[in-house]
A and B are shown apart, each in its own frame.
Chain A
Amino acid sequence: MTAAVRVEHVTKRFGDLVALDDVSLEVEEGGVLGVIGYSGAGKSTLVRLMNGLEQPTTGRVLVGDAEISALPERELRRVRRDIGMIFQQFNLFRARTVAGNVAYPLRVAGVSRTERDARVARVLDFVGLLDKAHAHPEQLSGGQKQRVGIARALATSPRLLLADEATSALDPETTADVLALLKRVNRELGITIVLITHEMEAVKAVAQQVVVMEAGRIVERGSLVDVFSAPATPAAARFVRSVLHDRPTGATLDRLRSAHRGRLVTVRVADRPGFTATVSDAFAKRRLSNELVFGGISELGDRSVGALTYALDGPGAAVDEALAELRGAGIAVEEEAAG
Chain B
Amino acid sequence: MNGFLADLPTYLTAIGQTLFIVLVSLVVAGALGLVLGVALAVTRRGGLLSNPVLFAVLNVVVNIVRPIPFVIFVIAIAPVTIGVLGTYLGPAAATFALSLAAAFAVSRIVEQSLVAVDPGVLEAARAAGASPLRTIATVLIPEGLGPLILGYTFLFVGIVDMSAQVGLIGGGGLGDFAVTYGSQRYDWPVVYITVATIIVLVQIGQLVGNRLARLALRR
Instruction: Tell me whether B145 is interfacial, beta carbon within 8 Å.
Output: yes
Q: Are the C-beta atoms of B126 and A53 separated by less than 8 Å?
A: yes
Contact A104 B128 (CB under 8 A): yes
Contact of B129 among A81, A89, A92, A94 (CB under 8 A): A81
Contacting residues, chain A, for B216 (C-beta < 8 A): 95
Residue of A nearest to B135 (CB): A108
A80 contacts the other chain (CB 8 A): yes
Chain A residues touching B, range: 20 to 34
Q: Does B143 count as interface, using CB distance less than 8 angstroms? A: yes
Instruction: Check: B127 CB closer than 8 A to any chain A CB.
Output: yes
Say whether, besides A93-B143, A94-B143, A105 and B121 are in contact (CB < 8 Å). Answer: no
**Given known contacts A93-B142, A136-B218, A87 and B129 CB-to-CB distance under 8 angstroms:** no
Is residue A324 within 8 Å, beta carbon to beta carbon, of the partner chain?
no
**B89 interface contact, C-beta 8 A:** no
Question: By CB atoms of chain A within 10 A, which of B126, B127, B142 has the most?
Answer: B127
Are A77 and B121 in contact, CB atoms less than 8 angstroms apart?
no
Query: What's the A-B contact tally at a CB cutoff of 8 Å?
Result: 62
> In the complex the two chains form, what is the Cα distance from A60 to B44 in whole Å?
29
A77 touches B130 (CB 8 A): yes
Number of interface residues of B (CB under 8 A): 20
B 123-136 binary contact with A (CB < 8 Å = 1; else 0): 11111111100100
Expressed in whole angstroms, the Cα–Cα distance for A79 and B126 within the complex equals 12
With beta carbons under 8 angstroms apart, the residue of B120, B128, B143 that contacts A89 is B120
Contact with B along A86-129 (1 / 0, CB 8 A): 01010111111000000011011100000000000000000000
Q: Do A81 and B128 contact each other (CB < 8 Å), given the known contacts A87-B123, A91-B118, A91-B123? A: yes
B-side binding surface: helix, strand, loop or mixed? helix
Instruction: Tell me if A134 is interfacial: C-beta within 8 Å of chain B.
Output: no
Does any Cβ of A come within 8 Å of B80's Cβ? no
Q: In the complex, are the beta carbons of B129 and A77 less than 8 A apart?
A: yes
Question: In the assembled complex, how far is the CB of residue B167 from the closest CB belonging to chain A, in whole angstroms?
Answer: 39
- In the complex, the answer to whether A94 meets B121 with C-beta atoms within 8 Å is yes
**Interface residue? A146 (CB, 8 A):** no
Contact residues of A between 74 and 88, Cβ < 8 Å to B? 74, 77-81, 83, 85, 87
A179 to chain B, nearest CB (A): 21
> Residues of A with Cβ closer than 8 Å to B?
51, 53, 74, 77-81, 83, 85, 87, 89, 91-96, 104-105, 107-109, 136, 138, 152, 156
